Chain A
Amino acid sequence: MTKASAQLVVDKAKVSFSGFVAVSDLTLRVAQGELRCLIGPNGAGKTTALDLICGKTRLAAGEVYFQDKPIHRLSEHAIARTGIGRKFQVPSVFRDLSVRDNLQIGRSASPGVLSNLFRFRQSRDKADIERLAELVGLEDELGTPAAHLSHGQTQWLEIALILAQNPLLILMDEPTAGMTQQETKKTADLFCRLRGKHTLIVVEHDMGFVRDIAQTISVMHQGKLLAEGTISEIESNQAVRDAYLGSGGIGHA
């Protein structure tokens, strides 16, 4: 596979924290419109892998290309502006602001100070925001401060923020944590709809959820890429089975 055929290329990436190597020699290629699941036992470096793509942590070695441009030296906001959005493991929204204001922040197509200085609440924004709130079931909570939402609602709000941002590549870190089975099902449906229009990389522990959504799965172990393939290939892979042995099998990871 050449660099040109993949939208995102992580090439031999290495991340270390004062000597501790969290990720080493990681290579990932994700095509445009693909939905990629990233799994692995605890401490495998999955979250760090997302961090190094969106610029939250810096590479000690290696490169990251997005749409054929190197992005690993850009600052976080510059990376986001190339079209990369991130949902965090601990749902991370603006707790002092209302749901509506949160969604306003999410709509970041023009992120400059000056362009936002003369922008007040516009009717086009309003319609879009209500549509998004409806999509994630928060249409009755538009005026509620985000601090007063339940955990599940907060997860949905952050997903809605990413949708408002409308990035080309969406990085999702455990989007279903704290969700009920029904909500998880709803999330799976949503992701399947997003696939194709957006590229998604989803870190997930819930194998049921992974089975529902995944096309290709990448398995990480001890900071390295262990295997890559379809769900059945991964489930029959001996190295993957060995890696999960300590943690009670792949289903319970």
Chain B
Amino acid sequence: MDIIVSQLMTGLSIASILMLVALGLAVIYGVTGVINLAHGEFVMLGAYAAWALQTEFGMGLLASLVPIFIIMAAVGWLVEVLVISRLYDRLLDTILATWGIGVMAQQAVRLAAGGELRYVQMPEPLSKSVTILGATDSAYRLFILFVALALFAVTWVIYRHTNFGLKLRAITQNRAVASSYGINASRIYRLTFAYGAGLAGLAGALVSPLKSVSPEMGTNYVVDAFMVVVLGGTQSLMGTLASSGILGELSGYLAFYSNDTIAKALVLLAIVVLIRFRPQGLFTARVRT
């Protein structure tokens, strides 16, 4: 019993991290159609921000979350203004530009903070472990699960129940028509991008105590996040939630039972097959084009 629960909890923990990282990417891709290859670097920057605030200013991780969100949202806003906003009519090129931005971010951090691994302290009250149904789990992992769900809920409410979300959905449907009704699409895209970047920063800060922080850490995250988005469907937040859950449990299981390299290759193969046969994701209905 407790082995099953513990396996389930490992999966949930992976799922919550996946979801944290993927949410920002999903929001940006779903609304603007931009595949932000710098997303992993946004996550990395969030983690470094947590490290810097802790070592330079002695701020605890929890206290630094809000400033990190604001800093990363500002970074995202800037990137949107300077680069992305010029590329909405050639989406394939956004892959290239965001990849270039990622390279720059990685290298800038390497030059500024050094290439060695950095460690971020876990918040004191959460460093204990708790027991659920006979299985022990770290309180911090449960905390991440809680935050991931909370952020999802906030995003959902913004998307479904606010005036901003309504405009956003209108633009996603048809940018030209929405603009002609006086919706400022550029501003909405900019805010969306900033919000997505802020979420990525939060994800980075939150995972930083669990994993070592390095300039290259973003690369794996962007692949994972992209998988979640492809699996969940690009227009569906609920899809993102479901696919994080599925992928989290699946990778927990795969890591437990098989060779890591082959597991990774199999997951990539699964993406390739999924793109080929269900490019709209598992959780979206086919629409008239």
Whether A and B touch directly in their complex, counting CB atoms under 8 A apart, is answered as yes
* Residues of A near any B CB (own CB < 8 A): 17-18, 20
Q: How far is the CA of A18 from the CA of B288 in the complex (A)?
A: 7
* Number of residues of chain B lying within 8 A (CB) of chain A: 4
Is B111 engaged at the interface, CB distance under 8 Å to the other chain?
A: no
Q: Which residue of A lies closest to B285 (CB)?
A: A18
Cβ-closest 3 pairs across A and B: A17-B288, A18-B286, A18-B287
User: 1/0 per residue B260-289: CB within 8 Å of A?
Assistant: 000000000000000000000000011110
CA distance A145 to B287 in the complex (A): 34
Minimum Cβ distance to chain A for residue B236 (Å): 15
List residues of chain B with CB within 8 A of the CB of A18. 285-288
Measured between beta carbons, the chain A residues less than 8 angstroms from B286 are 18
Identity of the chain A residue whose Cβ is nearest the Cβ of B287 in the assembled complex: A18
- The docked-state distance in angstroms from the alpha carbon of A18 to that of B284 is 12
A20 to B288, CA, bound (A): 9
CB contact list, B48-105 vs A, under 8 A: none
CA distance A48 to B287 in the complex (A): 16
> CB-nearest residue of chain A relative to B289?
A17
Determine the chain B residues whose CB is within 8 A of the CB of A17 once the complex forms.
287-288
Determine the chain A residues whose CB is within 8 A of the CB of B285 once the complex forms. Answer: 18
- List residues of chain A with CB within 8 A of the CB of B288: 17-18, 20
Task: Give the complex CA separation of A17 and B287 in angstroms.
Answer: 7
Among residues of A, the one whose C-beta sits closest to the C-beta of B286 is: A18
B92 nearest CB across to chain A (Å): 15
A17 to B289, CA, bound (A): 9
List B contacts of A20 (CB < 8 A). 288
**Assembly CA distance A17 to B288 (angstroms):** 6
Q: How far, in angstroms, from A20 to B286 measured CA to CA in the complex?
A: 12
The distance from the CB of B173 to the nearest CB of chain A, in whole angstroms, is 15
* A145, chain B: closest CB distance, angstroms: 17
Q: Measured between C-beta atoms, what is the minimum distance from B176 to chain A in Å?
A: 14
User: Shortest Cβ distance from A49 into chain B, in angstroms?
Assistant: 16
Chain B minimum-CB-distance residue to A17: B288
A167 to B: closest C-beta gap in Å: 25
Closest chain B residue to A16, Cβ basis: B288
Bound Cα distance from A18 to B286, whole angstroms: 7
Per-position binary interface string of chain B over residues 104-132, scored 1 when its CB falls under 8 Å from any chain A CB and 0 otherwise: 00000000000000000000000000000
CA of A88 to CA of B287, assembled, Å? 21
When chains A and B are docked, how far (Å) is the Cα of A17 from the Cα of B286?
Answer: 9
The CA of A18 and the CA of B280, in the complex, are separated in Å by 15
Question: CA A18 – CA B289 in complex, angstroms?
Answer: 11
> Measured between alpha carbons, how far is A88 from B176 in the docked complex, in Å?
21
B285, B286, B287, B288: residue with the most chain A Cβ atoms closer than 10 Å: B288
Cβ of A96 to closest chain B Cβ, rounded Å: 13
In angstroms, Cα B285 to Cα A20, docked, is: 14
Q: Which B-chain residue is minimally distant from A22 (CB atoms)?
A: B288
Nearest-Cβ distance from residue A76 to partner chain B, whole angstroms = 15
